[in-house]
């Protein structure tokens, strides 16, 4: 079904509203009925009924919806998205699937919550205008527990994690964050490994999977293989083996042959 520029389809985890102009999330949902299923598989390994999760960079909810289903009616997901247009669609997708355990927040996440974030909005004539947007620190959230934090904010992951240092120290959640900006990687990995005390593992997840929900065998991006460059963080005291390549130092990078389809195996 079509609603202006938005399309509605029944996908792997329920009804999803999206724009095909979004070349990754929207296109994946349109062609395959799912988005980055490798990330979902990993989250399912750790999330349980009654857990509390934080989804920073929730976008339109393609991962928030399954996260909310995993934690169940007694759980909680804080879905944080700074872009107002994405937030509108996120809220629609939560409503379409009857999800009541997610709390959507239209805000930036920053370590200094007194400073408003800023975003560039495209306007009809192609120029851009900069508008202030409120920002919060993860440490300002009133949490009774925190079991999992996912962060995907296009290079702002370090600032997000710094903003939640007290929550992370208190609850010791599993961390799952994107790391795709080479010149920011060392500082990010060093902070999580040494300041927060986590063991880290590479978790590359391809966008295309042959066994997708729609059974579509065509890789839209071929011959290129787009991979989400995600990192899994486990509190060091848990001493949990995860079957993924471990990050040994802050200068480690994705300069190895990434095996497509290499997911968390437990």
In a domain, 229, yes or no: yes
Q: What is the pLDDT of residues 126-182, one digit of tens each?
A: 333 445 467 899 999 999 999 999 999 989 999 999 999 999 999 999 999 999 999
Which range is most confident: 45-49, 113-117, 236-240? Answer: 45-49
Pick left, alpha or beta for residue 154 (phi over 0 → left; psi -120 to 50 → alpha; otherwise beta). Answer: left
What pLDDT score was predicted for residue 258? 54
Does a structural domain hold residue 233? yes
Q: Report which secondary-structure segment, H or E, holds 78.
A: strand 76-80
Query: How many domains does the chain divide into?
Result: 1
- Mean pLDDT for 35-45 is 96
pLDDT at residue number 216: 98
pLDDT at position 115, please? 45
Mean predicted confidence (pLDDT) in 55-67: 98
Of 148, 140, 71, 145, nearest to 102 (Cα)? Answer: 71
Q: Which residue range forms the structural domain that includes residue 210?
A: 36-114+135-238
Surface-to-core class of residue 18, CB atoms within 10 Å of its CB (0-12 exposed, 13-18 middle, 19+ buried): buried
Q: What is the pLDDT of residue 255?
A: 80
**Is residue 92 in some structural domain?**
yes
The pair of three-digit structure tokens given for residue 87, joined into one six-digit string: 């937030």
Write down the pLDDT at residue 257: 61
CATH number at residue 209: 3.40.50.150
What is the model's pLDDT at position 226? 85
Whole-angstrom CA distances from 187 to 92, 191, 194, 244 are 36, 6, 10, 22
CB-based contacts of 40: which residues, under 8 Å, 6+ apart? 13, 34, 63, 66
Q: What is the average pLDDT value for the chain, to the nearest integer? A: 89
Helices (H) and strands (E) in the chain, counts: 7, 14
The answer to whether residue 243 sits within a structural domain is no
pLDDT of residue 4: 85
The answer to whether residues 186 and 85 touch, using CB atoms and an 8 Å cutoff, is no
Task: Flag whether 6 is in a domain.
Answer: no
Whether 145 and 49 have beta carbons less than 8 Å apart is answered as no
Which is higher by pLDDT, 135 or 115?
Answer: 135
pTM: 0.89
């Amino acid at each position: 079904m079509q609603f202006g520029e938005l399309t509605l389809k029944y996908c792997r985890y329920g009804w999803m509203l999206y724009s095909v102009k979004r070349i990754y999330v929207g296109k994946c949902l349109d062609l395959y009925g799912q988005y980055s299923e490798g990330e979902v598989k990993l989250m399912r390994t750790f999330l349980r009924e009654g857990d509390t999760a934080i989804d920073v960079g929730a976008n339109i909810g393609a991962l928030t919806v399954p996260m909310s289903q995993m934690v169940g009616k007694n759980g909680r997901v804080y879905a944080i998205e700074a872009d107002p247009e994405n937030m509108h669609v996120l809220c629609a997708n939560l409503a379409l699937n009857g999800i009541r355990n997610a709390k959507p927040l239209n805000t930036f996440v920053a370590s200094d919550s007194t400073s408003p974030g800023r975003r560039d909005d495209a306007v009809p004539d192609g120029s851009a205008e900069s508008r202030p947007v409120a920002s919060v620190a993860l440490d300002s959230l009133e949490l009774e527990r925190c079991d999992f934090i996912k962060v995907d904010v296009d290079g702002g992951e370090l600032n997000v994690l710094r903003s939640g240092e007290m929550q992370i120290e208190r609850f010791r959640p599993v961390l799952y964050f994107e790391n795709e900006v080479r010149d920011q990687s060392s500082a990010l990995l060093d902070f999580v490994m040494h300041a927060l005390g986590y063991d880290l593992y590479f978790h590359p997840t391809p966008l295309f999977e042959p066994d997708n929900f729609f059974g579509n065998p065509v890789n839209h991006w071929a011959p290129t293989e787009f991979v989400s460059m995600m990192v899994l963080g486990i509190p060091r005291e848990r001493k949990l083996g995860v079957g993924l390549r471990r990050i040994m130092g802050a200068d480690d990078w994705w300069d190895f042959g990434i095996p497509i389809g290499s997911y968390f195996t437990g």
